[in-house]
């Protein structure tokens, strides 16, 4: 079985990256996606650290990503009148990233790039509008797996089933035999991403960020001329695990209910909040989700394995994309290395990934204090400190200090796999 039949579930970031590398490792890949076509909405994602390493090993990808990068010069934190307190700049050096990554790209563009790199491969078949309803493993979990589908694909046998369907993975629940919310640690935070047809920033390449009490955060950036991309987030205090319940209820009712909930949530909170609360109802490319961490005792079970957010979503740290790319690469690398021995490959995958996952799931301590102070006083204090460090040019220094958490230099030394030519 040196050409394993692999089913990948989910075609966002983890899925297509896993398809690319698994096909290189000799697999015959079927990749299914619940949505009828590739989802290209979403806001910025970052490619950092291990993600940069994997990108550089994928033929031609770095150049394509560079051509699609968001020309962000930095993020300016503003007060309720839109005046800036301080600006976090990009460092201008791809090997020395700060809070603003040098490889910042719209998630939809990244997903499209990965799809384009895999869609014509004779060993990769994409099927849209499909999902898994059951996964039956052999008694000892060491033989082919029988999978049933919801929308017409006949039941089929695979040697390996790879769940890449995100933090709230239903395939994880089916494969591990648990509930969807098992293994989810809420980060007490949600995010909504959308665009509006107004040029709120008058074409500037500087993103703007704003905080209101209660952990409310808005980030906006110019998209194409006349279009502004918005990220609206709420970081609830960590002591209330049910804080996101109203959001989750609205999520279940669909986009309109969700838009109304978010509009109410931001109404009257200063800066452009009132405009946003109106515009959101007509917003395009609307996508919202709860931000969660996923922690499973083991990232595989028999011939069922998790990659990306489905297995180890890191939550609000913004490293999910890089971690997903690394996981996809390492899984395929181990499959190629242990040709014919999937059990050894999966053990290798877990061993290689565990330290990287543990590291990237750490939420830097300063993170929430900087991004989402809870009280008006907290915001005031943060802004005063910010204004001070910007004025005194301490910022460059602070950025260098924090670059450890955000650097693109890959301290994890992802393994080289011989078969990667
Ligand atoms: C539409 C969208 C927009 C996003 N926007 C942002 C953003 O602006 N900023 C940000 O930081 N992160 C965003 N994310 C999350 C980000 O892509 C991930 O955190 C990270 O890249 C890891 O990706 P992933 O492939 O593991 O999971 P995800 O990106 O969550 O992808 C999961 C994929 O699986 C599909 N899927 C879900 N359930 C099933 C099922 N049962 N069967 C088959 N397929 C299924 C989904 O439609 C999706 O395509 C977004 C995700 C999506 C899906
Ligand atoms: C597809 O798989 C076959 C069999 O493993 C292999 O010979 C061929 O080179 C693969 N094609 C591509 C494009 O990788």
Which atom of ligand 1 is nearest to 231's Cα? 8
pLDDT reading at 98 higher than 90 = no
Averaged pLDDT score across all residues of the chain = 87
The confidence band for 96, taking pLDDT boundaries of 50, 70 and 90, is very low
Share of the chain above pLDDT 90, in %: 55
Strand ranges of the sheet holding 156-158, from the earlier edge strand across to the other edge: 132-136, 145-149, 156-158
3-class DSSP state of 230: strand
Tell me what pLDDT residue 97 has: 47
Share of the chain above pLDDT 70, in %: 85
DSSP state at residue 134: E
The confidence band for 236, taking pLDDT boundaries of 50, 70 and 90, is confident
Which atom of ligand 1 is nearest to 171's Cα? 41
Query: Who has greater pLDDT, 140 or 325?
Result: 325
User: What gap in Å lies between CA 189 and CA 101, rounded to an integer?
Assistant: 22
3-class DSSP state of 115: helix
Cα(165) to ligand 1 centroid in Å equals 7
User: What gap in Å lies between CA 235 and CA 243, rounded to an integer?
Assistant: 9
pLDDT reading at 27 higher than 80 = yes
> Counting ligands in written order, which one lies closest to the CA of residue 43?
1
Tell me what pLDDT residue 45 has: 87
Instruction: Give the tens place of pLDDT for each residue, 153-194.
Output: 999 999 999 999 999 999 999 999 999 999 998 888 899 999
User: What gap in Å lies between CA 124 and CA 49, rounded to an integer?
Assistant: 27
The residue-averaged pLDDT of 23-44 equals 94
Mutate to test the pocket of ligand 1, among 7, 11, 12 (most ligand atoms within 8 A of CB): 12
Mutate to test the pocket of ligand 1, among 165, 287, 324 (most ligand atoms within 8 A of CB): 165
Tell me what pLDDT residue 307 has: 98
Cα(27) to ligand 2 centroid in Å equals 8
**pTM for the predicted model, two decimal places:** 0.90
> Counting ligands in written order, which one lies closest to the CA of residue 336?
2
Q: Is the CB of 121 under 6 A from ligand 2?
A: yes
The residue-averaged pLDDT of 278-292 equals 90
Tell me what pLDDT residue 397 has: 54
Cα(300) to ligand 1 centroid in Å equals 20
What domains can you pick out in the chain, each with its CATH number? 5-71+102-183+295-363 (3.50.50.60), 184-292 (no CATH)
Residue that is written with structure tokens 């150049």 in the block: 63
């Amino acid at each position: 079985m040196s050409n394993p039949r692999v089913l990948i579930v989910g075609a966002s970031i983890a899925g297509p990256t896993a398809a690319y590398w698994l096909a290189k490792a000799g697999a015959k890949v079927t990749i299914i996606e619940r949505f009828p076509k590739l989802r290209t909405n979403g806001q910025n994602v970052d490619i950092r650290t291990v993600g940069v390493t994997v990108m550089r090993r994928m033929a031609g990808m770095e150049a394509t990503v560079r051509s699609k990068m968001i020309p962000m010069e930095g993020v300016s934190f503003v007060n309720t009148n839109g005046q800036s307190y301080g600006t976090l700049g990009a460092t201008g050096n791809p090997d020395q990233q700060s809070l603003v990554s040098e490889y910042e790209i719209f998630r939809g563009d990244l997903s499209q790039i990965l799809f384009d790199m895999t869609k014509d491969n004779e060993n990769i078949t994409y099927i849209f509008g499909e999902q898994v309803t059951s996964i039956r493993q052999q008694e000892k979990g060491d033989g082919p797996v029988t999978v049933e589908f919801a929308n017409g694909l006949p039941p089929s046998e695979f040697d390996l089933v790879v769940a890449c369907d995100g933090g709230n993975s239903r395939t994880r629940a089916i494969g591990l035999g648990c509930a969807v919310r098992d293994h989810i640690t809420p980060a007490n935070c949600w995010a909504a991403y959308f665009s509006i047809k107004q040029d709120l920033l008058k074409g500037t390449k500087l993103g703007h960020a704003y905080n209101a009490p209660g952990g409310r955060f808005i980030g906006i950036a110019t998209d194409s001329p006349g279009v502004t991309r918005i990220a609206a987030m709420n970081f609830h205090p960590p002591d209330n695990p049910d804080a996101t319940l109203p959001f989750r209820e609205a999520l279940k009712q669909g986009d309109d209910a969700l838009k109304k909930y978010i509009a109410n949530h931001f109404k009257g909170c200063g800066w452009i909040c009132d405009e946003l609360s109106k515009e959101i109802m007509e917003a395009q490319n609307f996508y919202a989700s709860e931000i969660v961490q996923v922690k499973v005792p083991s990232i595989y079970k028999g011939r069922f394995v998790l990659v990306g957010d489905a297995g180890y979503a890191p939550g609000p740290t913004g490293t999910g994309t890089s971690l997903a790319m690394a996981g996809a690469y390492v899984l395929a690398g181990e499959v190629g290395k242990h040709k014919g021995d999937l059990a050894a490959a999966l053990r290798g995958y877990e061993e290689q990934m565990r330290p990287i996952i543990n590291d990237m799931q750490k939420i830097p301590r300063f993170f929430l204090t900087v991004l989402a102070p809870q009280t008006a006083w907290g915001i005031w204090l943060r802004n005063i400190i910010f204004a001070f460090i910007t004025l005194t040019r301490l910022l460059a220094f602070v950025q260098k200090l924090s670059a450890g958490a955000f650097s693109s230099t890959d301290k994890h030394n992802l393994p080289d796999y011989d078969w990667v030519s």
